[in-house]
Structure 1
Amino acid sequence: DFGYGHSLAISSNGTILVVGAPFEGRGRVHIYDLTKDYPEISRFDGNSKDDFFGGSVSMSSEGEGEPMTVAVGAHAVGEDGVTYSDNGGEYVKVYKFLKNESEGRKEFTHFGKTITVSRVGSFGFSVSLSNNGNWLAVGAPRDDSAGSNAGKTFVYQIGNRRISLVGDIPGKKKNDWSGFWVAFNHDGTKLAVASPKPTEGNETVRIPSYHIIDVST
């Protein structure tokens, strides 16, 4: 069992499908063009064994002057809190659907540098791109900077040449696991960050708590 389908994203026109398989080798992401007879058009692997690469995926739309963008998270830490990767393995990679001039066709290409943050827990557990591909949110629900497992969400701007960290949103208190889920709206002006808080009296049942951040201000 490679965890095939652990994470999914589909383009707004329904033609491109991204499938994460975080337990396949070093973790793998398959990208399919559903209009083709042989639909797999790209395949990307994680950096090392047990990175959980493909544990989270997100995709933007392709608009005028804006290439389709895919973000893939590798969080390395299981929900049991155990770090499985020997090399840390907490990172996010971004791919853009760009024209290969030598072959005269478009293909997904690694864009910018691999995104990493030092001393962060489960960075890449969740990812979300705005629909225009200009903004990226990355959740790290086991980050301890605001308290043990308080969590944190990092916000990046994706430019024409590089990816820049804009800011971060820490959890409110210990064991918030803030950033467990993240979601951008269409143009990246609003970001939802969720925390799976335990139901009172039953630590095994979790109900989500969330807040909306206005990124445009």
Structure 2
Amino acid sequence: MIYVFQFFLTGLLLLLSPGVTARLRLDSRIVFGKLNIIFLIAVFFATFTIPAVAVANEIVDWTQIGADIDGEAEGDSSGYSVSLSADGSTVAIGAPRNGGGIYAHIGHVRVYENISGTWIQIGADIDGQTYFEGYSEYFGASVSLSADGSIVAIGASGHIGRVRVYENISGIWTQIGADIDGERNAFGVSVSLSADGSIVAIGAPHDSSTGHMQVYENISGTWTQVGADIDGEWEFDAADEFGLSVSLSANGSIVAIGAPYNNGTDVWAGHVWICENINGTWTQIGADIDGEALADFSGFSVSLSADGSTVAIGAVQNNGNGSHAGHVRVYKNINGTWTQIGTDIDGETGNDYFGNSVSLSADGSRVAIGAEGNNGAEGNNN
């Protein structure tokens, strides 16, 4: 089930809404499960001229836009991935467990447009594929819309892993170019489109012992890799999970990549790299942005501003405000150095897993943060 809200901002925003989907790890694949918990989203206003996050005034009201957008069937995990167009009028929704029988978890994506307050599906379902081996594709594990909502990239992290990109042509979702295939490395667990939909970044966190990220550009209908693979760091005791999260700048020239299992500061502290395409070579901007402490999993989520100068990073198991409370840090590129803006934004209490998802506004002044373990008004997270 998906809820879409519009809001009138006067300062600090806190929204509680039900029905969040969790991501679990099993047998080197991303598996999905639904939790009956309260989903906490916090939107903060950062004032970059002072060394603090400015927080003031509660939100006046939230108004739901249209009715709930429900999944097709029980167990579909509809809403596991979502992406909005720049103006908020179009939404893509992934249901990676859609399908049944031997081909369970084929997955599909639906795209809706807000027409006079009603969410109307655009075109037919965009369905995943079946395989004679009976493997699950998990099509819809990740989705990313172009700014105008006319192009959607869809990740299918099961089987070999692949990404397909579609364009809305007269109400029909038509694939652009061929599939972009992985190598059984959770390729497609994360995707991010440029604003015009011509460039896509794709994470493959289970590649080798590092994970990697690839960027492709649509050149005359063919998805052509931009530069070489960006590989994570080799870890002696575990995979880096580099590419579990990715985020492109609006023009596709800058990419942020999360590696939550990196051991830079400490074991599984996590870190983020930010790279720029300079004449076809992906060149790191500044140093690694490392997590704070042991098992923080910093980089579980990342989001760039439109110009790529600001990044929000989620560390879901940081213990700053209790065990696994989680936190988010926001950094700005100042003369090639990633400088934290304000203080840490901490989860409310232990087991919030605050920072499970993050999304920055285009100008980088606002950040929305998900906390999949927050108990909210119900008092439990069962």
TM-score by length of 2: 0.47
> Do the aligned partners of 1:191 and 1:212 also contact (CA within 8 Å) in 2?
yes
The residue correspondences of 1:20-169 to structure 2 (distance < 5 A) are 20-23=155-158, 25-35=159-169, 37=172, 39-42=174-177, 43-46=179-182, 48-49=183-184, 51-62=185-196, 68-76=198-206, 87-88=208-209, 90-99=211-220, 106-120=221-235, 121-166=240-285, 167-169=287-289
Q: Quote the offset at 1:111 in angstroms.
A: 1.2
1:18 aligns with 2:137: no
Mapped to 1, the partners of 2:320 and 2:310 lie a distance apart of: 29
Q: Quote the offset at 1:122 in angstroms.
A: 0.6
Q: Quote the offset at 1:192 in angstroms.
A: 0.6
Segments of structure 2 that go 5 or more residues without pairing to the other structure are 1-104, 106-136, 336-382
Q: Quote the offset at 1:124 in angstroms.
A: 0.5
Q: Quote the offset at 1:162 in angstroms.
A: 1.8
Aligned-residue identity in percent: 29
Q: Quote the offset at 1:170 in angstroms.
A: 0.6
1:3 aligns with 2:118: no
Amino acid at match of 1:136: V
> Do the aligned partners of 1:190 and 1:216 also contact (CA within 8 Å) in 2?
no
Amino acid at match of 2:181: D
Amino acid at match of 1:18: A
Partner residue, 1:82:
none
Mapped to 2, the partners of 1:152 and 1:198 lie a distance apart of: 13
1:214 aligns with 2:332: yes
> Do the aligned partners of 2:319 and 2:326 also contact (CA within 8 Å) in 1?
no
1:174 aligns with 2:294: yes
Mapped to 1, the partners of 2:321 and 2:216 lie a distance apart of: 44
Q: Quote the offset at 1:189 in angstroms.
A: 1.2
Partner residue, 2:114:
none
Mapped to 2, the partners of 1:168 and 1:201 lie a distance apart of: 24
Moved over 2 A (4+): 197-203
> Do the aligned partners of 1:72 and 1:92 also contact (CA within 8 Å) in 2?
yes
Aligned Cα root-mean-square deviation (Å): 2.2
Post-superposition CA distance 1:70-104 (Å, at most 9, x none): 1000011xxxxxxxx6x4461111011223xxxxx
Q: Quote the offset at 1:208 in angstroms.
A: 3.9
> Do the aligned partners of 1:147 and 1:174 also contact (CA within 8 Å) in 2?
yes
Amino acid at match of 2:260: P
Amino acid at match of 1:15: S
Post-superposition CA distance 1:156-208 (Å, at most 9, x none): 001342211223101111011000010000111111111112679986xx544
> Do the aligned partners of 1:74 and 1:89 also contact (CA within 8 Å) in 2?
no
Mapped to 2, the partners of 1:153 and 1:19 lie a distance apart of: 23
> Do the aligned partners of 2:291 and 2:298 also contact (CA within 8 Å) in 1?
yes
TM-score by length of 1: 0.81
Q: Quote the offset at 1:216 in angstroms.
A: 3.8
Mapped to 1, the partners of 2:214 and 2:291 lie a distance apart of: 24
Q: 1:199 to 1:161 in 2, by over 3 A?
A: closer
Post-superposition CA distance 1:85-138 (Å, at most 9, x none): 6x4461111011223xxxxxx433211111113315111110011112121110
Post-superposition CA distance 1:130-158 (Å, at most 9, x none): 11212111000011121111001011001
How many aligned residue pairs are there?
Answer: 193
What is the SS of the residue equivalent to 1:139?
A: strand
Segments of structure 1 that go 5 or more residues without pairing to the other structure are 77-84, 100-105
Q: 1:202 to 1:211 in 2, by over 3 A?
A: closer
